[in-house]
Amino acid sequence: MSAPSILNEIVHSKSTELETQKSLVSINELERMISTQSPAIDFKQALSNSNVALIAEIKKASPSKGLLCPDFEPVRLADTYAKNGASAISVLTDPRFQGELDHIVSIKNSGASGNLPILRKDFIFDPYQVYEARANGADAILLIAAILEESKLRDLKQLSNSMGMHALIEIHDQLELEMVLRVDPEIIGINNRDLRTFTTDLKITEHLAKLIPSEKIIVSESGISTREHINTVSKCGVTAVLVGEALVTSENIASSVKILTEQNDLHR
């Protein structure tokens, strides 16, 4: 697909980073690490267990807004999310968000996430990154349609499935949706943020969700911070929401998670 320039820049930069990483840790070593991991926790099932499931995100910073969470403790955040009603945890592992794979490792090793699956949220375009994700304990990965050709998307999805991981495949417009549906996704994420302008609009979910077959799990991403937002997208058949910034910037994270996971007044 044709990606916004910001995505092209990120992919170009990550390609260089990836070459360095491949020279440090081989695929064989990643496969060895994978063999020592417990089986992946079922991300799809986790999103099917409540009216509108919350994927709570661990996010320290963003390229546009800078530092979001100065007192950043991934393990503590995961523990708070798990204890207050989240259905899954998303961990940003890209350095542009001051993220790293070790955050997943720390969370898994501490047991803070309990039985919740962890999604590796990154700009994934190379099979190596899928191996990396599973080797470091991820249970699912994000695949962004805007940076992937159809054949690559299909290959990465199949590779993640072969390791027991589900793929959350992200779209932003109808063209991307048409391409994604051809690879038979189980979970489709609708990003309400336009990466060309960085504006968010929940109407993107309202428009695209109507075009998605009812058997698919739909996740609404970006621009969601209140119960009202969740009630709005739930009426479109959305199965889950991914919320990051509104949680990590909250003065009372536990309370915010509880509010977003209250299952009353939902109209699916």
* pLDDT tens by residue, 61-93: 876 677 777 778 999 999 999 999 999 999 999
At 40, is the pLDDT very low, low, confident or very high (cuts 50, 70, 90)?
A: very high
For residue 18, the model assigns a pLDDT of 96
| SS percent in the chain: helix, strand, coil, step 5 | 45, 15, 40
The predicted pLDDT at position 267 comes to: 41
β-strand pairing of 140-144 with 166-171: parallel
Please list the alpha-helical segments (H only) found in the chain. Answer: 5-24, 27-35, 43-46, 74-83, 101-110, 127-135, 150-162, 174-181, 203-209, 227-234, 245-248, 253-261
Lowest mean pLDDT among 43-52, 101-110, 133-142: 43-52
Q: Which residues pair with 253 in a beta bridge?
A: none
CA triple 186-230-40, angle to 5 deg: 35
Beta-carbon contacts of 75 under 8 Å, excluding residues fewer than 6 positions away, are 106, 107, 110, 112
**Catalytic positions, please?**
57, 59, 121, 170, 191, 221-222
Distance (Å, whole) CA 125 – CA 104:
19
Sorted by where each starts, the structural domains of the chain and their CATH numbers stand as 5-261 (3.20.20.70)
Q: Which amino acid is at 80?
A: T
Of 155-169, 173-187, 199-213, 252-266, the poorest mean pLDDT is in: 252-266
Considering the chain, what is the average pLDDT of its residues? 92
- pLDDT confidence bin for 268, thresholds 50/70/90: very low
* CA atoms 66, 70, 76, 82: torsion sign: negative
194-200: long-range contacts, CB 8 A cutoff, minimum separation 24: 195/4, 195/6, 195/7, 195/146, 196/4, 196/5, 196/6, 198/64
CA distance 133 to 159: 11
User: In sequence order, what are the residues at sequence separation of 6 or more whose Cβ sits closer than 8 angstroms to the Cβ of residue 1?
Assistant: 145, 146, 147, 148, 149, 175, 176, 179
The Cα–Cα gap between 220 and 156 comes to 22
pLDDT at 81: 96
Model confidence, pTM: 0.93
Task: Quote the pLDDT of residue 145.
Answer: 96
Q: Is 225 helix (H, G, I), strand (E, B) or coil?
A: coil
Find, among 127, 112, 121, 100, the residue nearest to 34 by Cα: 127
Answer with the residue of higher pLDDT: 248 or 255. 255
What are 50's two structure tokens?
């409540």
Q: What token pair was written down for 135?
A: 């080797």
Nearest CA-CA partner of 259 in 249, 247, 244:
247
pLDDT at res. 265: 41
Q: What does the pLDDT look like over 106-146, one tens digit per residue?
A: 999 999 999 999 999 999 999 999 999 999 999 999 999 99
Q: Mean pLDDT throughout 244-251?
A: 86
Which pLDDT band holds residue 27 (cuts at 50, 70, 90)?
A: very high
Q: Is residue 260 within 8 Å of 227, Cβ to Cβ?
A: yes
| Residues 29, 35: Cα–Cα separation, whole Å | 10
pLDDT per position as a tens digit, 157-187: 999 999 999 999 999 999 999 999 999 999 9
